[in-house]
Amino acid sequence: MAFSFTVIKKDSTSRARLGRLVTAHGEVETPAFMPVGTHASVKAMSPRDLDEIGCQIVLGNTYHLYLRPGVEVVRELGGLHRFMGWRKPILTDSGGYQVFSLGALRKISEDGVRFQSHLDGSGHLLTPEKVVEIQQDLGSDIAMVLDECIPHPADREYASASTLRTVRWAERSLNARNKTDMALFAIVQGGMYEDLRTECARELTALPFDGFAAGGLGVGEGEAALRAMGEFTAGLLPEDRPRYLMGVGRPEDIISAVRAGYDLFDCVLPTRNARNGSLFTSAGKINIRRAEYASDARPADESCDCYCCRNFSRAYLRHLHQSGEILAAHLLTLHNLAFYHRLMESVRNAIREDRAEPWLRDSELKLQQSESR
């Protein structure tokens, strides 16, 4: 089945919109959050758990899967969906951010990125063409082009050269694709320079990409700059293609980005926070490690109907976490991801029912107030 995207409904007072992605492995109603399954697994969750909380799509990572277990293993075992037992859509990140994180272990040139594996020190070269080939072999529904994630701060000369290289890499990526059922998204870079982002978006949107992402945000620029540049970048992207804000995942930031017109989000925040004992609830975040919960009979969130909240007390969850039990990671992660998916379902319903702006405004205010407590 060919990839398609349809805007079903637009909010009349903001850029928020309700959409539908169609892929070879099913449909995704947007706005949607994608749990991060870097190594073909969302940490502490089974595919059945993800399905039961309403997850529509997950994210895998090209860099990590290329290094381990190796793309040949995944391809020979039937592709990433069969390998990880997930029947719904998968988006794979190109690995550009992971390479950015390697620092001295990588060297960027016009050819691509030469780097040393963080696993065994072996040398590798990822080119734009190689990254597309890997994602095709994995059987991705949505693939990302190789880009260079610009750090913050970055001087203008570096940001300009990097942005132009990202555009050239995107063109090479498009030419390398030969699977018609795999969507390919380009990534708009440009650092904190509006004119560079404008130029990058103009070049990329002139090409037949299936969707576009805003990259290079959430890398230390601060909340105000993140929101301002995220909104600015969204305004540069075509309305008839999906817009993906990469790696930004605080609930209040997602709500702000929905208002700006983004459709897809991913972040490790809900799963990482869970493993550290931090839970998202309708009344704000709680740290289950605190002594005050040692005999607390309430569920993590009294307004949540996930498996964790239906069956277990805060006292039990604290006991599991303090005891180092594996079950703690599972239950807390399940709850946090259920919170995120319920949030996305609520915003979709608000757009559908013509009450998006008051819902977005009230939810953002409530989240900000709970963060300050």
Q: Which residues are catalytic?
A: 93, 266
Q: Which helix (H) or strand (E) holds 338?
A: helix 326-352
How far apart CA 316 and CA 261 sit, in angstroms, is 40
Residue 276 makes CB contacts below 8 A (sequence gap 6+) with: none
How far apart CA 146 and CA 150 sit, in angstroms, is 13
Write out the E strands in 198-257.
211-214, 243-245
Report how far apart the first and last C-alpha atoms of the chain are (Å, whole number). 48
Write out the E strands in 252-359.
264-267, 278-279, 286-287
Q: Taking phi first (over 0 means left), then psi (-120 to 50 degrees means alpha), and beta for anything else, what does residue 283 get?
A: alpha
DSSP, res 192: T
**Contact predicate 42/36, CB 8 Å:** yes
Residue given tokens 């040393």 in the structure block: 116
3-state class percentages of the chain: helix first, strand second, coil last, to nearest 5 = 45, 20, 40
Q: Which helix (H) or strand (E) holds 327?
A: helix 326-352
How far apart CA 241 and CA 162 sit, in angstroms, is 25
**Contact predicate 88/25, CB 8 Å:** yes
**Does residue 94 sit in helix, strand or coil?**
coil
Residue 306 makes CB contacts below 8 A (sequence gap 6+) with: 53, 334, 335, 338, 339
